Structure 1
């Protein structure tokens, strides 16, 4: 009787433990499923290919389909914009605006080499005077072609599709993908990574970006890193080109921080990083799912920060306006030719 009672109690305990384990597994699966759904639902997609149609630069003839596919390792050109396009309290506190006053103050063309062994990041100054092509609008109408206008007006008047079309008109390089991140998302990303270490060559005191730093090495949190990316008037010259130099330093520092952070061994931090990125992201429809973004990320696994080159599109002072610049030729054309 005692033995039978003991075995019966043990059986009940094993059964309870099995049920508890099964329940935990189900909860884990449910949590993982919810996390995937949440991250996937975070991303906003824009169908730029349909909006622009066939009137675009051709992809390299040797890789007609590979270059558009994030999971393959052919060359890719991605237009990356930093903007204050999304409304909300967080963006307002960080200096952003509402969707009515959307701006794209940071524009970079990221070229990924075939094999993903190297990358070139080309900054386009927002003060560059360009010919802005006619762009399609959501209501079926189009904007008018405009001459000698600032580059960043393209996003303001026509959103992502017009930004892509203007870059393609300026460079004659096909943008395979489009990625846009807003103010609050950038700050959250830096915080999720544990901050970023940057060395500045001069003192910074900028009321507009709310950043004050002495020259030297600093470990910045998200708000400070965003302030650095937006700093212009608190540095010598106060030009957009000086701000671009800071942004390029920040890009390098972020890549180094990501490389030094083993996200795969820290699921909690990995989720925070993924949530920060996807929650602030607008992409073309070729990258608007978690699976597609993960494929792109996995293809970059072997890309070291030292293999990333940052440059600025060659420019000279605009003849019509000392406060604006224009592409310097033939240097600018040669640069874009190297990315085709």
Structure 2
């Protein structure tokens, strides 16, 4: 079986990681509500940045059942008596990093003029009822799956494809097909969808002033244009994006090595957010908020600052020691040594545990 739990950082680091996540949550809340207490035009601009896709309408009822909704508890309510209590039910969110080359910036960061787009990074974020625990499952982009028939925006639908790479779903049918394929593979209903593109990720890192990461081995990848000696490095947006995308310069060149780097980069971003006093630096706060909202595509249930901030605030009790990061269990595909398939029954057991 190929696949592993990314935990095991040690009890001694839990307190620090807990503080990091709490600080990140507060910063996110500040980013999402920026302008509500300042200038109305700033709020309008940030709200307008967010793009959305009506996935629920496109897919209809032919989907896995929704998770059982847990009523909001009094403890989750806002301090304001008139405010609605925060939601506390279980959620599953499909998070994709798109390798779209659309636009000059994305094409340049992508390293060429390749047409179309694929999901360069795919994670299913499961948040338990009560929103105090979460599991983040990475799906290797090289996983061969049965891609279901997907509705197209222009009408009609794609054909069922057997032995297709998981990331091809986005290429042929956009976010709708990515969600439908994820639900087909996992048997889990995706309550929300969040996507960030090349330029948006790079802009976010730059707006934060870069991120610091430590690599345990040299990285020498001409395809991602990343060349780093083993050790600690402070990366700008372009370098951080290259780190998230590199695969040929590490390990066996598979997507599994890249997933490990992506997990490392996510932690570095959280640490950077926690160490940056965004809430007292309006200029930097606006830059980060603009980078985040300007790079997002969501489902229609998260396409406003109010909805995003509500989600962020509902996670305020989620501590890092209650966040488990794993990779979907996979094994080498019999048909192609450069591809993988879900390793059963371990993969199904993992997805069933998220129900």
TM-score, normalized by length of structure 2?
0.82
Partner in structure 2 of residue 316 of structure 1 = 331
Structure 1 equivalent of residue 58 of structure 2 = 51
Q: Residue 70 of structure 1 contacts residue 292 of structure 1 at CA under 8 Å; is this kept in 2?
A: no
CA distance in 1, matches of 2:142, 2:160: 18
Alignment match, 2:142: 127
2:221 is equivalent to residue 214 of structure 1: no
Cα–Cα, structure 1 residues 262 and 117, in superposed 2: closer, same or farther, change >3 Å?
farther
The 3-state SS of whatever aligns with 1:292 is helix
With over 3 angstroms needed to count, the CA separation of the structure-2 counterparts of 1:61 and 1:98, relative to structure 1, is farther
Give the one of 44, 58, 76 matched to 2:91. 76
Q: Deviations over 1:23-79 (max 9, x none)?
A: xxxxx999711111110111111000000000000012354999xx99512221110
Q: Which moved more, 1:287-296 or 1:48-57?
A: 287-296
Against the structure 1 CA distance between its residues 209 and 173, is the aligned structure 2 distance closer, same or farther, given a 3 Å change threshold? Answer: same
Query: CA 1:171 to 1:84, structure 2 compared with 1: closer, same or farther past 3 Å?
Result: same
Measure the CA separation in 2 of the matches of 1:308 and 1:43. Answer: 27
Check the 8 A contact 2:123/2:139 in 1, yes or no: yes
User: 3-state DSSP class of the match of 2:303?
Assistant: coil
Which residue pairs with 1:141 in the alignment?
156
Report the more deviating stretch, 292-301 or 29-38: 29-38
Deviation at 1:97, TM superposition (A): 6.6
- Name stretches of at least 5 consecutive residues in structure 2 with no aligned partner: 1-34, 74-83
For residues 97 and 50 of structure 1, the distance between their equivalents in structure 2, rounded to whole angstroms, comes to 35
Cα displacement string for residues 93-116 of structure 1 (whole angstroms, at most 9, x for unaligned residues): 211677951111110111122232
State the partner residue of 1:19: none
CA change 1:58–1:70 in 2 (3 A) is farther
1:118 and 2:133 matched: yes
Q: 1:302 Cα shift?
A: 3.4
- Given the superposition, is the C-alpha separation of residues 29 and 316 from structure 1 closer, same or farther in structure 2, using an over 3 Å criterion? closer
Q: What is the count of residue pairs matched by the alignment?
A: 311
Residue 156 (str. 1) matches residue 171 (str. 2): yes
Do the aligned partners of 1:84 and 1:98 also contact (CA within 8 Å) in 2?
Answer: no
* The 10-residue stretch of structure 1 (323-332 or 249-258) with the greater mean CA deviation from structure 2: 249-258
Quick check: 1:36 aligned with 2:43?
yes
CA distance in 2, matches of 1:230, 1:160: 20
3-state SS of paired residue (1:114)? coil
Root-mean-square deviation (CA), in Å?
2.4
Using CA pairs under 8 Å that are at least 6 residues apart, name the structure with larger relative contact order, 1 or 2.
2
Unaligned 5+ runs, structure 1: 1-27
Task: Encode CA deviations 1:174-229: one digit per residue, 9 max, x unaligned.
Answer: 10000000001001111112222212111001111111111112221111110100
Contact 1:255 1:305 in 2 (8 A): no
Task: State the match for 1:191 in structure 2.
Answer: 206
Q: Distance in 1 between matches of 2:92 and 2:296?
A: 18
* TM-score using structure 1 length: 0.86
Displacement of 1:305: 3.6
Partner of 2:268: 253
- Corresponding residue of 1:61: 68
Alpha-carbon shift at residue 88 of structure 1 (Å): 1.4
State the distance in 2 between where 1:308 and 1:258 align. Answer: 18
Structure possessing the higher radius of gyration over alpha carbons: 1
**In structure 2, what is the equivalent of residue 179 of structure 1?**
194
